[in-house]
């Protein structure tokens, strides 16, 4: 028997990661909805656990914080991410996340997963920001204020 090492190109891995990251993000929420548990409470719990990992961004420029927040959505297949800075804070607009095709295939709706954005509430608080969410069927506004 001959042993062969399987190798993957960075493109092969990157093309595989996005949809899998999205699915692994969505599955807990779909499960929680199925058993009639709060997705917002789950998101807040996750945000509380992860907040300390943002310590290096305390006092960082708004654009740097927004870019990292947006990266989470880009990694999970968001089609478009826009950042707007103002004197009070900043807003990140996430367009078409989660992917409607994935949502349909998994038997879920955007309404099921919208509360997951509240993961940013405790992280924002840790960074000295308040968090507000505005959502429609095609876009989400993550609003952070001083």
Residues 95-133 have pLDDT tens digits of 989 888 888 888 888 888 899 999 999 999 999 999 999
In a domain, 3, yes or no: no
Cβ pair 85, 93 in contact under 8 A: no
Tell if the pTM clears 0.85, that is, is over it: yes
pLDDT at residue 104 in the model? 86
In a domain, 57, yes or no: yes
In a domain, 129, yes or no: yes
Say whether pLDDT at 138 is over 90.
Answer: no
Residues 49-90 have pLDDT tens digits of 999 999 999 999 999 999 999 999 998 888 899 999 999 999
Cβ pair 117, 74 in contact under 8 A: no
pLDDT at residue 45 in the model? 97
pLDDT bucket at 143, cuts 50 / 70 / 90: very high
**Position of tokens 């996430």?**
94
Q: Residue 137: which domain range?
A: 10-145
pLDDT at residue 19 in the model? 84
* 48 DSSP 8-state letter: H
Read off the CATH number of the domain in which 108 is found. 3.30.1380
pLDDT at residue 79 in the model? 84
In a domain, 1, yes or no: no
pLDDT at residue 50 in the model? 97
Task: State the Cα–Cα distance between residues 82 and 139, nearest whole angstrom.
Answer: 11
Q: Please give the backbone phi and psi of residue 138, each rounded to the nearest 5 degrees, phi first.
A: -115, -10
Tokens of 87: 């004197």
Cβ pair 124, 131 in contact under 8 A: yes
pLDDT at residue 137 in the model? 82
Cβ pair 123, 68 in contact under 8 A: no
pLDDT at residue 102 in the model? 81
Say whether pLDDT at 142 is over 90.
Answer: yes
Domain count, the chain: 1
In a domain, 5, yes or no: no
Residues 6+ apart with CB under 8 A from 127: 54, 57, 58, 65
Tokens of 7: 């190798």
């Amino acid at each position: 028997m001959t042993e062969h090492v399987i190798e993957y190109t960075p493109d092969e891995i990157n093309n595989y990661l996005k949809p899998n990251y999205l699915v692994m993000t969505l599955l807990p929420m779909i499960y929680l909805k199925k058993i009639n548990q709060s997705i917002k409470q789950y998101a807040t719990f996750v945000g509380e656990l992860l907040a300390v990992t943002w310590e290096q961004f305390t006092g960082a420029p708004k654009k740097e914080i927004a870019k990292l927040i947006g990266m989470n959505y880009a990694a999970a297949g968001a089609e478009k991410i826009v950042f707007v800075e103002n004197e009070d804070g900043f807003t990140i607009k996430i367009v078409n996340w989660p992917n409607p095709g994935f949502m349909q295939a998994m038997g879920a709706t955007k309404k099921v997963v919208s509360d997951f954005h509240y993961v940013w509430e405790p992280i924002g608080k840790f960074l000295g920001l308040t968090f507000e969410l505005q959502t429609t069927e095609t876009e989400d506004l993550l609003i952070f204020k001083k």
